[in-house]
Amino acid sequence: MMVRERGNPPRRTILAIASGKGGTGKTTVAAHLAVTASRTMRTLLVDLDVEAPDAVGYFPGAVGTGDDEAVTVLVPSAVGDRCTGCGACAKACRFGAIVAIRDVVTIDARVCKGCGRCVALCPAGVLVEAPVPVGSVRSFSADGGLDIVEGRMHVGDIRATAVIEAAKRAASRLDAPIQIRDCPPGVTCPTVHAVEGADYVVLVAEPTAFSLHDLDAALSMVRDAGIPAGVIVNKQGFGTADIEGLCVKRGVPVIGRIAFLHTRARAGAAARLWTDDPELSAVLDGALSAALDASTMARPRTAS
Amino acid sequence: MTTVGVASGKGGAGKTSLAAALAAALAGAGGAPCVVADCDVDAANGAIALGAIVRERKAYFAGPGYRIDADACIRCGLCERACRFDAIRAAGTSARVIVPGLCERCGACVDVCPANAILTYQKQAGELFVSDTRLGIPLAHAELVPGEDTSGKMVRAVRERAVALASGDTVVVVDCPPGIGCPVIASLSGCDLVLVVVEAGASGIRDAERLLELIKSMDRKAVAVINKTGLDPLMDARARSMLAEAGIPSIGEIPFDVALRSMEEAGKTWLSATGSAGRSIAAVLSACIDALNIPPRPGSGTAEQRKENP
């Protein structure tokens, strides 16, 4: 079980929407679950797909609240002429951001993760850090009491995780009993950061061979993170891959089934919410209660 | 060697399917030899799209990971203060714990621990493969252990293996990951041409715009295909005007067709698609091969159909 003594107050439930494969409907499901939840409680939708943030696009009426918060990392540079060129900083750097050739030290600010190890280990004490912008966090308010926090990495940057963590911190400062996180595709660092701290992960899959393969990897990721998960099968009838069979094999519940309809595909292309779709509303209500029930049961009693 | 990357920004736009079909078209043309590099190591589906049989496998190790020996930890908290990533946590006065999902593996904690309680471990982060495919094209690919955090490095390893399989006139087709981050930059560097797949939807267009900005900053040549058209005419028009404004030539449009979804399950690439989508795909692939300046040979597009429909 993950240690969650800090930054995760009780009575706040965090649902992370992930998938493995991209394009299965994560953002669509996250936006709809957020709307569903916001009918009964203050809800925060957190867009952590910082390389391709699209959740706000579902809410044309959303207005920005407050200023954009710049996300920065502390990047060192050698100042003055006291650098001896010893190369201790280059040896300390695990990210390949520092090269020391003969007496010349070159620091690549684009690759530096801002861990500060080189600064701590520089025997001459000549490294001085300055913040470098890597992205931004923006807040929005949409209709019906739904708040949105969006992380957005600058184009050309590689420090997605710094932006994700900043967006998570911004979200934790807002007082909403439920947070719905829209996570990036994949199963490595950005996704791992995006699901970390969540009480429950909703994995969105579609019945294609690609999605089946990637769902299996995503199930392993959330199992290793110690977070309970459920699967929404989206676009049922779209392909023939046996998503439900995999769920049975992996002992993970299917908490919703959304049939593929051309009307839904058309609305999805336009990033329009599927309003006036009672069948879908019922599916989402069911999925949301299943997720909330499971996260309440999973929450450790000792968290305070 | 010529390298063409297939990228999209948004996931699910059709990158892997188009990359596989492009490889099939190149092989079918009987022209330049071809190698596919599946650089979407987080969601490696090239092996499914191309029907891969693993020929070579090699364990892949990332850098060291760290964990704290609870018995040796003296609970001083110095590591917790040294960690910039909030990855070291303590339950009251108990031993510190590293949260693996947050640890960036910088090693700053190791330097400050007075008790030498922080241990280094090497864990296999995945496997690198070279496979034979049903099209006769070699595929360099990888499977990452889910949760491991080294996909940029692994992308470079896959690229290197693909290059090792290539000769002077080989075309390397790189299937890129979604997004615009570290693994995408690692996939696109060294590409002579990028085929940008724009999904004709609000999200797909926005994500492709960010990708085009990245491609421009990397000074790569790009052409674009608009996929899944016909769902919303407004979005189709928006995708076209976005490309026109970005100055990226569109080499065609592929209409949304549910039949394309299950082709991979049936062991076929999109090159075997029929109807209006099939004609569009053939035109797009031939335009892409033209943009690569590789002359197509007679019989282009039929070799795979012979293999798949004997």
In chain B, residues 9-38 whose CB comes closer than 8 Å to chain A? 9-13, 16
CB-CB neighbors (< 8 A) of A191 in chain B = 42
Beta bridge partners of residue B66, listed in sequence order: B120
- pTM value surpassing 0.80: yes
Interchain CB distance below 8 Å, A192 and B82: no
Digit-coded pLDDT (tens) for A30-50: 999 999 999 999 999 999 999
Q: Does residue A94 carry a pLDDT above 80?
A: yes
The per-residue pLDDT for B168 is 84
Query: How do strand B222-229 and strand B88-90 relate by DSSP bridges?
Result: unpaired
Backbone angles phi, psi at A183, to 5 degrees: -95, 160
Cα dist from A78 to A112, A128, B107, whole Å: 14, 6, 21
Beta bridge partners of residue B32, listed in sequence order: none
Residue-by-residue DSSP string for A256-304: EEEE--HHHHHHHHTT----S-HHHHHHHHHHHHHHHHHHHHHS-TT--
In chain B, residues 211-250 whose CB comes closer than 8 Å to chain A? 213-214, 217, 228, 231-232, 234-235
Interchain CB distance below 8 Å, B147 and A220: yes
Rounded Cα distance, B256 and B98, in Å: 47
Of B44, B111, B214, the CB nearest to A120: B111
Of A153, A187, A240, the CB nearest to B146: A187
- Mean pLDDT calculated for residue range B203-208: 98
Backbone angles phi, psi at B218, to 5 degrees: -90, 0
Backbone angles phi, psi at A187, to 5 degrees: -135, 20
Digit-coded pLDDT (tens) for B229-272: 999 999 999 999 999 999 999 999 999 999 998 888 889 999 99
pLDDT confidence bin for A299, thresholds 50/70/90: low
Among B80, B180, B197, which would you mutate to test the A interface (most chain A Cβ atoms within 10 Å of its Cβ)? B180
CA B295 to chain A, closest CA, distance in angstroms equals 32
The per-residue pLDDT for B31 is 63
CA A61 to chain B, closest CA, distance in angstroms equals 15
* A225: closest chain B residue by CA: B101
CB-CB neighbors (< 8 A) of A3 in chain B = 89, 91, 97, 99
CB B208 within 8 A of CB B176: no
Local structure of B102: helix, strand or coil: coil
| H/E stretch holding B306 | helix B303-308
Identify which has the larger pLDDT, B275 or B32.
Answer: B275
Q: Which two tokens stand for residue A227?
A: 């977070």
Digit-coded pLDDT (tens) for B21-76: 999 999 886 667 899 999 999 899 999 999 999 999 999 988 788 999 999 999 99
| 3-class secondary structure per residue, B28-49 | HCCCCCEEEEECCCCCCCHHHH
pLDDT confidence bin for A70, thresholds 50/70/90: very high
Which residue type does B147 have?
G
Residue-by-residue DSSP string for A121-166: H-TT--EEEEEEEEEEEEEEEEGGGEEEEEEEEPTT---HHHHHHH
Among A136, A210, A234, A274, which would you mutate to test the B interface (most chain B Cβ atoms within 10 Å of its Cβ)? A210
Identify which has the larger pLDDT, B161 or A79.
Answer: B161
- Mean pLDDT calculated for residue range A281-293: 94
Rounded Cα distance, A28 and A69, in Å: 26
Spatial strand order of the sheet with B34-38 comes to: B52-61, B124-133, B139-144, B34-38, B171-175, B2-7, B193-199, B222-229, B250-255
Cα dist from B90 to A106, A164, A169, A172, A224, whole Å: 36, 22, 19, 19, 20
- Which single residue is written with the structure tokens 């930890």? B73
